[in-house]
Structure 1
Amino acid sequence: MKTTGIGAVLALLCCAPAMAQQADTWRDPGSGIEFVRIGKGCFQMGTDAPNKFVRGEKPLPPMPNEAPRHEVCVDGFWMGKLEVTRAQWQKVMQGSAANVELPQRPATHVTREDALRFIERLNAQGGGKRFRLPTEAEWEYACRAGASEEPLPQTLEDARKVLAPIAWYDTTTHGSADTRDVATLAPNAWGLHDMLGNVLEWVQDTYLENGYAQHARHNPKVTQGGERYVLRGGSFKSEWWNTRCGARLFGVPGDPSWVTGLRVVREADRK
């Protein structure tokens, strides 16, 4: 059986197209958060591929919450180049976070309510720019960075070779009880670091297992439900099969998980 070379798998799992885009960046002067401009576009969200990466000898059906595979189009936006760091959290929240050590590590123990309060303060200090959490579709679009497919590693060794250059996850952190400094591994093709691994990232959408069946084609966002919210990207404690652009997890309001942080979107300027 023909197999995909590791180089090609890395390029696609890391979501890199053949040609990386030239990053157009902007830094918020108050918080120091840097953003990368993400142009509008369409992509295939989700997967219908057999689930070959979970434990077991035989491929399983696709993950139910990642189906059906469907076309989604998003407008342009500015994505945080990095996960929000502890130093940035302190600057915006004015000392309200308990964990102030290792300032270039991602902010952790961030509840959904914490994330929304952070963004509220960021907007109050933002000089007219508007900030928010990404939608789930925007997050996956930015993570894939132009790749049409996300190949699934066939073995643990394949996953290790694919993920080690780009993601802090359970294998590369060797069972550590903490994150790593942001931007210490390679970015994806659009210049975004740690889209996979390090901390799980809140997005706007309510988590529904069948949420994709309810998506609009243009700028979809699931808002009904409300008891659980989507988390994306995997963390430093995640297994390799959850450290993918397409993997969907969830958190509940009020839960300050030690593996949960955030990445912020700046809305495009209105013309």
Structure 2
Amino acid sequence: MNSMTFVSLFLLLVCLGCTSSSQQRHTSDPSDAVAVCHVGVIPSRFARVQQDSLVRKRGADDANMVLIEAGTFQMGSVSFPDAQPIHEVSLRSFYMDEHEVTNAQYAQFVKETGYVTVAEQPLDPKEFPGVDPAVLVPGSAVFTPNNDISGLDQPLQWWTYVPGANWMHPEGPDSSIKGKESHPVTHLAYQDAAAYAKWAGKRLPTEAEWEYAAKAGKHTTEPYYWGNDKKEDGKWLANIFQGKFPASNTLEDGFETTAPVGSFPPNAWGLYDMEGNVWEWCSDFYRADAYSLNDSKANPTGPKDSYDPQEPGLVKRVQRGGSFLCNDAYCERYKAGSRGKGEVNSPTNNVGFRCVKDID
């Protein structure tokens, strides 16, 4: 299942998206592109976070981690059917990386372990009878702006499978992460993120942990985790898509693709990029009905299996937070309480992760 799964999915036109609810699929409602977009009050996001109010810890990968203290919150959103019903969840304390795992951090992991990601692995033509062997080469999907589209329900109009694209070569074999060491690592399948977390002595967050940390003590119906507006004092509060999707990004926030971690203000608990930049893998299997099935109000870990009515044959995990491709006209799944989803073996250049660590 590794790279072969991804290529086969792509060939079957089911792979990709900005991962709103799926890092890759079509949806009948483009404003809720779950499929293609990856388908306490905070008075000012630009106010300095009181560093003495944050308890920090270094992970085995030397990453700063923030103590997320135990608490209870209302999980979900009235704006998205698969994020209902809103329900009360209680969580024990845990540590969370203050930002997404970077290229430099992932490079250290690969250096020490020799790990090979899904996008780099060779494919066996015997696994794909009838498919041109020339197509069956390691690679990954890269967002490609397109001004000539027939609608927002066909994500392959702006996604291209690029041979040689992987975490070290985000746009293809001629590209590099040199100079982008502080950008979030991308082109990772779920198992690639989980492998790093295990090496670092951590794990991937549950979606309940992720949402609790993103809300940072707020019980709100505001559209964004920080409040009502996408900008403050004329400055964008997250790395998302400005302009006409997918044709032209006006780059008002300063970034065409990923931004260095910490480029935008942290939330009240000192966590960066909890909306925008890259989608983040969570450990939960994705089910559209997960919240109605949930019978645990304390430290939930999600359903026991995956089921997406749009694509029932694919195994998906939850992704959270949106990416640099999300905006209100196309992919709203970066908004507060919303859920993304992604096929576990389908990496793209707008998906990454951060880790959490249990408290001994």
Alignment partner, residue 109 of structure 2: 92
Equivalent pairs, count: 233
CA distance in 2, matches of 1:160, 1:192: 17
- 8 Å contact from structure 1 (residues 196, 234) kept in 2: yes
Alignment partner, residue 103 of structure 1: 181
CA distance in 2, matches of 1:20, 1:210: 39
Residue number among 49, 52, 77 corresponding to 1:47 in the alignment: 77
Once the 2 structures are TM-superposed, how far is the Cα of residue 161 of structure 1 from its aligned partner? 2.5
Once the 2 structures are TM-superposed, how far is the Cα of residue 116 of structure 1 from its aligned partner? 1.2
- Does 2:241 correspond to 1:167? no
Residue segments in structure 2 that go unaligned for 5+ positions in a row: 1-39, 117-166, 170-176, 244-248, 307-314
CA distance in 1, matches of 2:51, 2:107: 33
Once the 2 structures are TM-superposed, how far is the Cα of residue 10 of structure 1 from its aligned partner? 8.4
Once the 2 structures are TM-superposed, how far is the Cα of residue 223 of structure 1 from its aligned partner? 3.4
- Does 2:68 correspond to 1:38? yes
User: What pairs with 1:186-201 in structure 2 (closer than 5 Å)?
Assistant: 186-201=265-280
Residue number among 215, 218, 223 corresponding to 2:303 in the alignment: 223
Once the 2 structures are TM-superposed, how far is the Cα of residue 12 of structure 1 from its aligned partner? 8.5
User: Runs of 4 or more off by more than 6 Å in structure 1?
Assistant: none
Across the aligned residues of Structure 1 and Structure 2, the Cα RMSD in angstroms comes to 2.7
- 8 Å contact from structure 1 (residues 229, 251) kept in 2: yes
Once the 2 structures are TM-superposed, how far is the Cα of residue 32 of structure 1 from its aligned partner? 2.1
- Residue type of the alignment partner of 1:230: V
Q: Percent identity?
A: 33
Secondary structure in structure 1 of the residue aligned to 2:273: coil
Q: Higher mean Cα deviation, 255-264 or 98-107?
A: 98-107
CA distance in 2, matches of 1:257, 1:78: 27
TM-score, structure 2 length as denominator?
0.59
CA distance in 2, matches of 1:179, 1:63: 26
Alignment partner, residue 140 of structure 1: 211
CA distance in 1, matches of 2:44, 2:204: 23
Q: Higher mean Cα deviation, 217-226 or 196-205?
A: 217-226
- 8 Å contact from structure 2 (residues 71, 92) kept in 1: yes
Bigger Cα Rg? 2
Residue segments in structure 1 that go unaligned for 5+ positions in a row: 1-8, 49-61, 124-130
